[in-house]
Amino acid sequence: MLTVRHLTYELDNCVILKNVNISMNSGEIVGVTGSNGTGKTTLLNLLMGVIKCQKGDIYWEEQVKKAILYQESTFPEWVTAKDAIDLFLGLQRHHEDTKEMINLIDSINLNKEISQLSGGEKRFLDFVLTLSGNPNFLILDEPTTAMDISTEAQFWGIIDNLIELGTTMIIVMHDINMLRKRCHTIYELNNGDLDKVYINDVTSS
């Protein structure tokens, strides 16, 4: 589904990514870890086409329907959670999509403004909205940040269901032990190099 060949990216004469190579098949789960500031988000922005490749190539198969969960929310603080759902899905979406989103986030008071939600609630709302449109390739950047134990358990439950459905994923996070439970391959990004640090032929939950 995704092939990255010899990807290199520089910023202000500093090498952020150096000769990065990735190959992912349908249904594969890949983890990416590394210290803050090592270029993980830059890599994701390159994959999504937010920033332009300088050197190397990124190939997506035509049938890929990708979606990304960034670290920062894009919703205005003054809208309610319900308004955010409606705004995200848009008027062209069928009402059943709204009902499905609400069922997934039944633990959140949808009448609250975004500013009144906890950090974990905001994060979970963003994650659920990322699933609208049924993407078959998910990219998740530090998805569990600020989530409490209960919300994080709900998050991983949804992820495990998506894995069973064959969704392909890249999950960026610091918790390598959690990645080991689900990922086929884990990469570590360090000084511009993306190195495999874990390979598992069969994931387990």
pLDDT in tens, 122-132: 999 999 889 88
pLDDT tops 50 at residue 67:
yes
- State the pTM of this model: 0.89
Best CA proximity match to 64, nearest among 21, 99, 25, 101: 25
What is the CB-side half-sphere exposure of residue 91 using CA atoms within 13 A?
0
Confirm whether 163 is domain-assigned. yes
> Residue 133 is part of a domain; what is its CATH number?
3.40.50.300
Q: Give the range of the structural domain holding residue 10, as residue numbers without chain letter.
A: 3-199
Best CA proximity match to 131, nearest among 176, 66, 61, 42: 66
Kindly report, residue by residue over 90-104, the tens digit of the pLDDT: 644 555 555 666 677
Number of domains in the chain: 1
- Place 72 in a pLDDT band, splitting at 50, 70 and 90: confident
Helices (runs of H) and strands (runs of E) counted in the chain? 6, 9
Q: Tell me if 3 sits within 8 A of 23, measured CB to CB.
A: yes
Neighbours of 180 (CB within 10 A): 15
Confirm whether 204 is domain-assigned. no
pLDDT at 82: 85
Confirm whether 54 is domain-assigned. yes
Place of tokens 């998805």: 143
Supply φ then ψ for residue 189, to 5 degrees.
-100, 120
Confirm whether 205 is domain-assigned. no
Q: Mean per-residue pLDDT for 172-182?
A: 92
Q: What is the identity of the amino acid at 59?
A: Y
Confirm whether 51 is domain-assigned. yes
